[in-house]
Homo-oligomer: A and B are copies of this chain.
Amino acid sequence: MSSSKSLIYFLKHAQLRLTELNTAALAPYGIDGRELGVLRVLTDGEPASQQQAASRLGIDRTTMVAFLDALEGKGLVVRRPHADDRRRNVVELTEAGRDILDRGGRAADEAEREFLSPLAGPVAEQLKAALATLVTGEPSATRRRDG
């Protein structure tokens, strides 16, 4: 008989546990892991409209509205109308937003390292690369330890 736990179980519970660690690590900065994800995607590449940012995160644009409402309420982002297309909002991080992204990002990275610490040597990198392949259809962009 096969292992009593299926892959889907491991994925679910790994995510739950990492989310817990992330939430605890980010609590001092007043954000949670998903809000950090939004901050990250907003500074990742070209300035993005709300809808583009939502698409990059794989969430609905209506969900993005709620995240940005919260982040704007905390003074971490500002919405400005796009110069050429006034239907769009360009969302930018405030100085406080960049500070939280920076420090919160380090805290989240540390939480991820702690989560992965039971894995020896290159296994953690291989895990992330394998997941990246499964999700994106191509190998992870993480080629060397750079965090």
- Interface residues of A, Cβ cutoff 8 Å to B: 1-15, 17-19, 22, 33, 37, 40-41, 44-45, 57-58, 108-109, 112, 115-116, 118-119, 123-124, 126-128, 130-137, 140-142, 146-147
Contact = CB atoms under 8 A, between A and B. Distances in A.
Nearest to A139: B118
A44 B7 contact: no
Number of this chain's copies in the assembly equals: 2
Contacts of A5: 132, 135-136, 141
A2 to B, nearest CB: 4
A112 to B, nearest CB: 5
B141 A131 contact: no
A119 B132 CA distance: 10
